[in-house]
Amino acid sequence: MAIHDTVLERFLRYAAIDTQSSEESSMYPSTAKQLDLLRLLADELKQLGLPEVTLDGYGYVMATLPANLPENLPGRQSVPVIGFIAHVDTSPSVSGANVKPQVLEYQGGDIVLPGDSSVIITESENPELMGNRGKTIITSDGTTLLGADDKAGIAIIMTAVQELVNTPSLFHGDMRIGFTPDEEVGAGTRYFDIEKFGAQFAYTVDGDVAGELNKETFSADSAVITVQGRNIHPGKAKGIMVNSIRAIADIIARMPKHIAPETTEGYEPYIHPHYLQGEEEKSTLKILLRDFRTAGLAELRKRLEDIIAEVQPLHPKVRIEMEIIESYRNMREGVEKDPRVLDYLWEAAKRAGLEPKWVPIRGGTDGSRLTATGLPTPNIFTGGKNFHSKTEWLSLSAMECSVSTLLHLVQVWVEKSRL
């Protein structure tokens, strides 16, 4: 029965299900295979005895774990509804099919993955491995990603729910559980019904190193540059062909290399060309714009406009157009409006035996958009590293610490809300 599973058993079961999302799809969810895991999660929540388990037409799974506070407990009515959220999809960047998790006791050194010996998890690039010597870690076999982002978060939430169901002495208020599709393609909350979810505060479980808590993300836009040329048989092209690829190449070559993901860290912004499709007639370039200052996005846009203005005269016959699409905004202002959502998380992590620290997310979460629409939703660690790659790995002890943090968190909300 699922009710007796450990966090590792749950993760391994979820990781075996291919849930890769797609940026090219017009469906929602973007891939039907995400529903395989979403249906399983709905069934497992029902097995755990939770009422109000729903799987709606958009693929959102929601459920309630009712409060177990004694009727005569003073202040019980003041305990708010808390939500926990994770996403089921894995990144389109690397295959999520036929994942073969490798569970090993890490003894130090580099890890050569058995499915492809050219894929190596190195200690030099992964200093967090040092803290896991003698402990259990999970990797892929090197031919796929692992899926810790965010199946580790799902396993953590489900295990915490299991513990609360099995241990009535752990008091908690009403809890809402939510599992979403399509987070990796920026659409995880597109149809998420906050009113139906019914939480006053929520937490995504979608971070990485144990003890790292997240209250701020990038503000993000996407830019799409389209270059229109003219094609003709290359044997008859003189004076007629207008090759859009040459213009798009000149645009890419002028993008500042010191403002790129591979050259920045911490709070530094970046411009990141991440998708290119082209032929002589038409080329399309997709670019990520990221800055912790929302106002900084306008500066990044201006850089692109200046590059286009420089390239256009070099290719006078092409037509260059740019569209800016808003993605998400830094959650910090929203989550700081009520300090309890952060203060209680910090206290819970300390009670779990950790030394917590606030770390900015150089990315976004479902919590970014949920916070912007009125549901404060900071982020909690899972213990995963190297997301979106074949070198992704996951710490079992960190997952267990995350479960403990969630269990302490619901109790802190009960204690503090009754004061």
Determine the Cα–Cα distance for residues 306 and 229; give it in Å rounded to an integer: 20
Q: Are strands 201-205 and 82-87 parallel, antiparallel or unpaired?
A: parallel
Q: Which is nearest to 342 in space by CA: 396, 373, 378?
A: 378
Determine the Cα–Cα distance for residues 206 and 218; give it in Å rounded to an integer: 15
Token pair for residue 9? 């058993």
Q: Which of 44, 89, 174, 212 is catalytic?
A: 89
Determine the Cα–Cα distance for residues 190 and 182; give it in Å rounded to an integer: 9
CB atoms inside a 10 Å sphere around CB 246: 17
| Residues sharing a CB contact under 8 Å with residue 233, sequence separation 6 or more, in sequence order | none
- Nearest 5°: phi and psi at 118? -80, -10
Q: Which is nearest to 7 in space by CA: 351, 403, 290?
A: 403
Q: Report CA Rg, the chain.
A: 23
Q: Which is nearest to 187 in space by CA: 29, 51, 358?
A: 29
The H or E element containing residue 72 is none
- Classify 414 as helix, strand or coil: helix
Cβ-contact 53, 63 below 8 angstroms: yes
Q: Is 299 among the residues known to form the active site? A: no
Cβ-contact 145, 90 below 8 angstroms: yes
Q: Is 89 among the residues known to form the active site? A: yes
**Strand order across the 102-105 sheet:** 102-105, 136-139, 393-395, 384-385
Sign of the CA dihedral running 170, 171, 176, 182: negative
**Residue the block writes with tokens 């559980």:** 177
Determine the Cα–Cα distance for residues 250 and 39; give it in Å rounded to an integer: 47
Determine the Cα–Cα distance for residues 165 and 51; give it in Å rounded to an integer: 12
Q: If phi over 0 gives left and psi between -120 and 50 gives alpha, with beta otherwise, what is residue 253?
A: alpha
Q: Which of 183, 184, 212, 221 is catalytic?
A: 183
Catalytic residue numbers read: 89, 183
